[in-house]
């Protein structure tokens, strides 16, 4: 069952002896404790974010801070990817998270030992948290889908199946990259103004504000996962930018769907926020709008409808080279919420596996562009361009799609009155100019 499990690790009164973890705006209070891979001195290993610091898990093991099941879980996080830890599923991550909460809490008798296992986050390189097996990208916001569909059919902007199943395509795992790695403008084929094909640096480079779910132990080939069990197969969440070349996409995607317009690169945030850490932020699933058909029973579960959503606010900030030269603050160009997703992640997993397709540990599922109904909730530029032709930054600079040197940063906060908000870190990348086309 995907029953949210709220325990002492979520206590709003809990504070850490790591002072930066108690700062009001931090993404990483002691109630969060997300897992990632850090590298210092050429050595990559697992760690846990706490305030502005990272608790080095191999160091904590060596210091004798972890024993029994907890030590076994931490040992699974000593390598260069978290897949062995993810393989322990939610129960394995839970025992480790609970022990780490005790170690890092104010008044802990392990403080002195644990303090020697801290690495300042600013001094560490953060790597991709897991080796991504497969990457499936959904399209779960009716507001995103509807805005883009309006040009095709203003009366029926949603595709016929949208309200009956979570639409998705198989994207590319090898090009998933961690926040901070730049994205070079790719080359691609598209239709020129006269309709004749052209090939060159893409002209309509876009971001898509998405939320990613990371799979733990799920299913074997041929064994569907019912919605009621699906939430428990997800072990962590991250921010995800599904970079999109719109000019290439328009030309290539009929009738087999997006290909090179999407596989160019995907950026994810470096910290996996555990499903347990998000338990206090469980929310009802999207409430059907008037006239919506009821989905078929295999996609419906009472508990999932009551608690399968998440109260997470997402934001997109942009800086241009000129803004950085002028010392201007990043411009927030979108604020949205996971409440706008028409489908829960449990429904996505259930649908994905309904034909027996097996999901593997470390597989990544993207939510699709998390757009809301209001103009400030347009979560990719294609929607903005379609409605307004482009946008203007606070310093007067105009943009249609992204230009070389622009940097796009996603942030996210799980928030609920009476709870300590938790965040996801940054999902950021800068656009580099296209590389010269290789010569023979
Ligand atoms: Mn997408």
Residue 166, pLDDT score? 98
Residue 3, pLDDT score? 47
Ligand 1 center from residue 169 Cα (angstroms): 9
Ligand 1 center from residue 88 Cα (angstroms): 29
CA–CA separation, 191 vs 228, rounded Å? 45
Ligand 1 center from residue 228 Cα (angstroms): 26
> If we measure between CA atoms, which residue out of 9, 425, 56, 80 comes closest to residue 237?
425
> If we measure between CA atoms, which residue out of 78, 83, 35 comes closest to residue 360?
83
What are the extents of the domains in the chain? 8-127, 135-432
Of 10, 43, 144, 351, catalytic: 144
Tokens 């090009």 belong to 175
Ligand 1 center from residue 171 Cα (angstroms): 9
Give per-residue pLDDT as tens, 381-422.
999 999 999 999 999 999 999 999 999 999 999 999 999 999
Residue 152, pLDDT score? 85
Question: What are the Cα distances from residue 110, in Å, to 7, 64, 247, 320, 416?
Answer: 21, 10, 56, 46, 31
Ligand 1 center from residue 106 Cα (angstroms): 41
Please, what is the average pLDDT of the chain? 97
Residue 282, pLDDT score? 97
Low-confidence spans in the chain with pLDDT less than 70? 1-4
Q: Buried b vs exposed e over 32-54: b needs ≥16 C-beta within 10 Å?
A: bbbbbbbeeeeebbbbbbbbbbb
Output the CATH code of domain 135-432.
3.90.850.10
Tokens 């060159």 belong to 200
Q: Buried b vs exposed e over 387-400: b needs ≥16 C-beta within 10 Å?
A: eeeebebeeebebe
Residue 2, pLDDT score? 47
Residue 320, pLDDT score? 98
Specify the DSSP element, H or E, that contains 131.
none
Residue 1, pLDDT score? 40
Task: Report the relative pairing of strands 282-283 and 309-310 from DSSP bridges.
Answer: antiparallel
Q: Is 144 one of the annotated active-site residues of the chain?
A: yes
Give per-residue pLDDT as tens, 259-269.
999 999 999 99
Ligand 1 center from residue 91 Cα (angstroms): 30
Check: CB of residue 136 under 8 Å from CB of residue 352: yes
* Residue 248 dihedral angles phi and psi, to the nearest 5°: -65, -45
- Write down the H helix ranges in 231-301: 246-252, 260-263
Cα angle, residue 346 at apex, residues 344 and 352 outer, rounded to 5°: 105
CA–CA separation, 352 vs 214, rounded Å? 14
8-127: which CATH topology? SH3 type barrels. (2.30.30)
Ligand 1 center from residue 366 Cα (angstroms): 7
């Amino acid at each position: 069952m995907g029953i949210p499990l709220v325990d002492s690790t979520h206590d709003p009164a809990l504070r850490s002896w790591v002072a930066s973890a108690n700062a009001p705006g931090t993404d990483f209070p002691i109630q969060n404790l997300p897992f990632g891979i850090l590298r210092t001195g050429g050595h990559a290993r697992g760690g846990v974010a706490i305030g502005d610091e990272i608790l080095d898990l191999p160091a904590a093991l060596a210091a004798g801070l972890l024993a029994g099941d907890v030590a076994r879980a931490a040992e699974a996080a000593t390598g260069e990817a978290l897949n062995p830890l993810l393989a322990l599923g939610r129960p394995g991550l839970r025992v480790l998270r609970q022990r780490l909460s005790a170690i890092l809490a104010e008044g802990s008798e392990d403080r002195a030992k644990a303090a020697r296992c801290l690495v300042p986050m600013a001094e560490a390189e953060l790597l991709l948290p897991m080796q991504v097996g497969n990457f499936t990208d959904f399209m779960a916001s009716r507001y995103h889908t509807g805005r883009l569909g309006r040009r095709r059919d203003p009366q029926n902007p949603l595709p016929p199946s949208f309200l009956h199943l979570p639409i998705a395509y198989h994207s590319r795992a090898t090009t998933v990259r961690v926040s901070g790695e730049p994205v070079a403008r790719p080359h691609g084929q598209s239709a020129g103004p006269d309709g004749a094909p052209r090939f060159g640096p893409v002209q309509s480079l876009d971001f898509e504000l998405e939320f990613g779910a990371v799979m733990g132990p799920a299913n074997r080939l041929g064994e569907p996962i019912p919605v009621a069990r699906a939430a428990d197969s997800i072990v962590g969440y991250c921010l995800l930018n599904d970079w999109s070349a719109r000019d290439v996409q328009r030309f290539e995607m009929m009738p087999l769907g997006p290909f090179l317009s999407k596989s160019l690169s995907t950026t994810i945030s470096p910290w996996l926020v555990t499903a347990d850490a998000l338990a206090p932020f469980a929310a009802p699933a999207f409430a059907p709008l008037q006239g919506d058909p009821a989905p078929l029973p295999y996609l419906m579960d009472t508990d999932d409808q009551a608690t399968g959503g998440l109260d997470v606010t997402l934001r997109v900030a942009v800086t241009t080279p000129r803004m950085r030269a002028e010392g201007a603050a990043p411009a927030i160009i979108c604020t949205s919420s996971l409440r706008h997703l028409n489908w829960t992640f449990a429904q996505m997993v259930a649908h994905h596996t309904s034909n027996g397709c097996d999901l593997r540990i470390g597989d990544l599922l993207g939510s699709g562009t998390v757009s809301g109904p209001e103009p400030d909730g347009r979560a990719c530029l294609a929607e903005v361009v379609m409605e307004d032709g482009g946008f203007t930054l606070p310093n007067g600079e105009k943009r249609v799609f992204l230009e070389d040197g622009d940097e796009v940063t996603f942030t996210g906060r799980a928030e609920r009155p009476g709870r300590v908000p938790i965040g996801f870190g940054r999902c950021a990348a800068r656009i580099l100019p296209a590389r010269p086309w290789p010569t023979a």
